[in-house]
Chains A and B, each alone.
Chain A
Amino acid sequence: MMASTRTAPPRRRRGGAPSPAAPSPHRRRGEGARALLWLSPWIIGVAVFFVYPLLSTVYFSFHRYDLFTLEFVGLDNYRYAFSDARVLQSALNTLWLVVFMVPAQVLFALGVAQLLAKLKRGGGILRTIFYLPSLVPVVAGTVAFVYLLNPATGPVNQVLAWFGITGPDWFGSAAWAKPSLTLLALWGAGNTIMIFLAALLDVPRHLYEAAAIDGAGAWRQFRSITLPMISPVLMFSAVTGVIYAVQYFTQAMIASRVASGATDSAGSTFTPGYPDGSLLTLPQHLFHTGFRDWSMGLACVHALLLFAVAMLFTLILLRRFGKAEVAS
């Protein structure tokens, strides 16, 4: 019932268009001006929503600003941020997400995709089932998981109890909160599964047939054929997963909020990170500092930290994929 993922993904044409670096017969006078015209709204956008705010963030990071009074404070904000235990804690939480959650999601998606690629009958309906949860709105999925995993009366611990297992406190304990979010991430891995499945189905069958004739077993075939063939897609998913982990906000914020039973809405006292700061990430800390405590100068220091981390990973991505991409 699911549309076949076998539809050949659009491929970059190789060797067709001349590389822009080489003197090109297609480069006519006036193309630059026309490109500029077509790109102008976007260029304005980059200036207004990217360049200006970035410079402005640097400026505010040396000031104390609460929407009313602006005061130059030198490096005070930096000193405060670097001695703030919550900044360190959120950095460590992000590191946890990068080291555990992202690999778990990639490996899990690869496993499920492998399984789906091997199934001949019933594959379509299963694909739909694995894809569906990734469509559930993030907030809805997170609220549902906090309910399902609630320690006292939640269905999951109830089912575990049937097997004589005492379930953990999940979102109620600092040790289990991040693993609980990892479960949520695995449940929502449908996009990654579909991307991997398409890549797996693209591997030419005759490679496996030839390998089988040469006596290669399943593991050997996987190592020597599958992995090299899909490694670009694998790497791409890993790096985008890491970048996503750096921005991790909504799931952690909602899980903390719902699990803690905070009864506020906006303009309130809820401090993100419950339980014990175990779900605090830098974007949440920034948001709370800037838009709940209105310490905007300090929030700008957090923003620059976040920028540094994001750029680090973006550079890794560009090194890995940039050349091939831009050359097209």
Chain B
Amino acid sequence: MRLRRRLMWIARHALAIALALMFLGPIVLVALTALMTDEQALTSTLWPERWNWSNFADVFTHSELLTWTVNTFVYASLATLFMLVSSIPAAYALARFRFRGRKTAFLVVISTMMLPPQVVAVPIYLVWARLDLTDSLWPLILPMLFGDAFSIFLLRQFLITIPREYTEAATVDGCSDVQILFRVILPMARPAVAAVALFSFFYCWNDYYGPLLYAGVDQEGWTLSLGLATFKAFHSVQWNLTMAATLLVTAPVIIVFLFAQRVFIEGVTLTGVKG
């Protein structure tokens, strides 16, 4: 029995380590390729003969990576800010007030959340075209002023866990709805707000479909994901530069994650616990 348990222990750890290596493998191989010379990256060798650190600098000089980073950052920050301003009040109303149509409103939130963005793409595109805002990222940023279904959903899920006694006590003390939101609800909902903000930021950072539709043909207006998607096409024989660009696009996300792990993990479990 004891031997069996020990063997199980070893098997379990061996499996876990093997899996971990498979999860890390792609990142390591990409990093190794990113450091190879142009010629070596076209061969099937795995270890760089010469460590070509200048590849990372070359990515910046050979592409608009810096411009794309700035564009992506502006897009993600503004969209996230607008999302918070519009979604927190909506979630607050759905979680706090009892009114006719409350169920319907929540069903609408879920439905819009599930709707593939492509379904309504044509008429919305035509509206932005009429406003002469295509060939920019504004069509992706401005709608965030009107609430984002996924964020409203997540925030509402969190807010309904706050006992009503808090808001009731505040009402008795003469607080207005706005004061209750800022003084009572938001301080308690900080983890949920942080998680929703992070999700929104990363959604924008990763978004490919939106910029592909709206950013236009001029590279000056592209985001990182658009630029990276066509990077290979412009540097077709340079897998090493493409891999270096891939790493450069990934790095900021990983760095933010390492600083904000707790927020991430809490947010992820927040998405999964309902049901």
Contacts and interface: CB of A to CB of B under 8 A. Distances in A.
A265 interface: yes
B242 interface: yes
Contact of B33 (A145, A147, A314): A147
A115 interface: yes
Contact of B121 (A136, A233, A250, A290): A290
A223 interface: no
A31 B122 contact: no
B102 A42 contact: no
A204 to B, nearest CB: 16
Given A53-B123, A153-B43, A263 B29 contact: no
Contacts of A50: 112, 115, 120
A211 interface: no
Interface in B78-94: 86-87, 89-90, 92-94
B236 A263 contact: yes
Interface residues of B, number: 106
Nearest to B24: A129
Interface string A206-228: 00000000000000000000000
B26 A318 contact: no
Nearest to B97: A35
A57 B97 contact: no
Contacts of B265: 2-3, 5, 7, 131, 194
A32 B86 CA distance: 19
Contact of B102 (A9, A35, A118): A35
A279 interface: no
A201 to B, nearest CB: 10
Chief secondary structure at chain B's binding surface: helix
Determine the main DSSP class of A at the interface with B.
helix
Interface in A135-167: 135-140, 143-145, 147-148, 152-155, 157-159
B177 A34 contact: yes
A144 B272 contact: no
B62 interface: no
A241 interface: no
A303 B90 contact: no
B111 interface: yes
A313 interface: yes
A56 B143 CA distance: 18
B208 A138 contact: yes
A257 B272 CA distance: 33
B225 A155 contact: no
Interface in B223-275: 224-225, 228-234, 236, 239, 242-243, 246-247, 249-250, 253-254, 257, 261-262, 265-266, 268-275
Interface string A279-312: 0000100110011000010011001101100100
Interface in B3-27: 12-13, 15-16, 19-20, 23-24, 26-27
A196 B275 CA distance: 13
B8 to A, nearest CB: 9
Nearest to B146: A45
Contacts of B224: 137, 139
B14 to A, nearest CB: 11
Interface stretch (A13-21, A95-103, A170-178): A13-21
A115 B12 contact: yes
A41 B86 contact: yes
A31 B225 contact: no
B250 A57 contact: no
B268 A118 contact: no
Interface string A36-64: 10110110111011101110110010000
A242 to B, nearest CB: 10
Nearest to A261: B236
B270 A10 contact: yes
B268 A26 contact: no
B129 A158 contact: no
Given A42-B146, A128-B261, 15 more contacts: A9-B270, A9-B272, A60-B122, A115-B16, A119-B16, A140-B228, A198-B272, A233-B273, A261-B233, A265-B217, A266-B212, A266-B216, A303-B120, A310-B114, A325-B274
Interface of B: 12-13, 15-16, 19-20, 23-24, 26-27, 29-30, 33, 42-44, 46, 86-87, 89-90, 92-94, 97-103, 105-108, 110-112, 114-126, 129, 143, 145-147, 152, 157-158, 160-161, 163-164, 177, 202, 205-206, 208-209, 212-213, 216-217, 219, 224-225, 228-234, 236, 239, 242-243, 246-247, 249-250, 253-254, 257, 261-262, 265-266, 268-275
Interface of A: 2-3, 5, 7, 9-13, 16-17, 20, 24, 26-27, 31-32, 34-36, 38-39, 41-42, 44-46, 48-50, 52-54, 56-57, 60, 67, 112, 115-116, 118-119, 122, 126, 128-133, 135-140, 143-145, 147-148, 152-155, 157-159, 187, 191, 194-196, 198-199, 232-233, 235-237, 243, 246-247, 249-250, 253-254, 257-258, 261-267, 283, 286-287, 290-291, 296, 299-300, 303-304, 306-307, 310, 313-314, 317-318, 321-322, 324-326, 328
30 contacts: A5-B265, A13-B160, A20-B98, A35-B94, A36-B99, A41-B86, A41-B145, A41-B146, A42-B90, A53-B123, A115-B15, A115-B19, A118-B12, A126-B16, A128-B261, A132-B257, A136-B250, A136-B253, A137-B250, A143-B229, A147-B33, A155-B46, A195-B271, A249-B118, A290-B121, A290-B125, A303-B118, A325-B106, A326-B103, A326-B107
